[in-house]
Amino acid sequence: MPVLIKPIVTEKSMKAAGQNRYTFAVAKEANRAQIAEEIKKVFGFKPVMVRMITIQNEKKAIVVLKPGEKIDLFDVTENAKKV
């Protein structure tokens, strides 16, 4: 079962991404350690902190990375690689 379901791309989450905080929808059964391990495996960065929120039966994780590290998936600048 996948731990990370999808990135959450909203105006608020994109603003947070500029501060090294990335938001993902995650599996309801996932815990902080599983989310941190999945981030490390998929993106190659060990999170500094993982916070979790459950709203209307949907679980979200806010992943904080070290300064200088970023997840390209959230990069929306003109110079970003086109996927």
CATH code where residue 57 lies? 3.30.70.330
pTM, full prediction:
0.84
Q: Domain count of the chain? A: 1
Residues of the chain with pLDDT under 70: 75-83
Residue 39: partners with Cβ closer than 8 Å, 6 or more residues away:
4, 45, 46, 47, 50, 63
pLDDT of 83 reads: 46
Which residue range(s) make up the domain with 66? 4-74
Tokens representing 19 are 């501060």
pLDDT of 76 reads: 58
pLDDT of 77 reads: 57
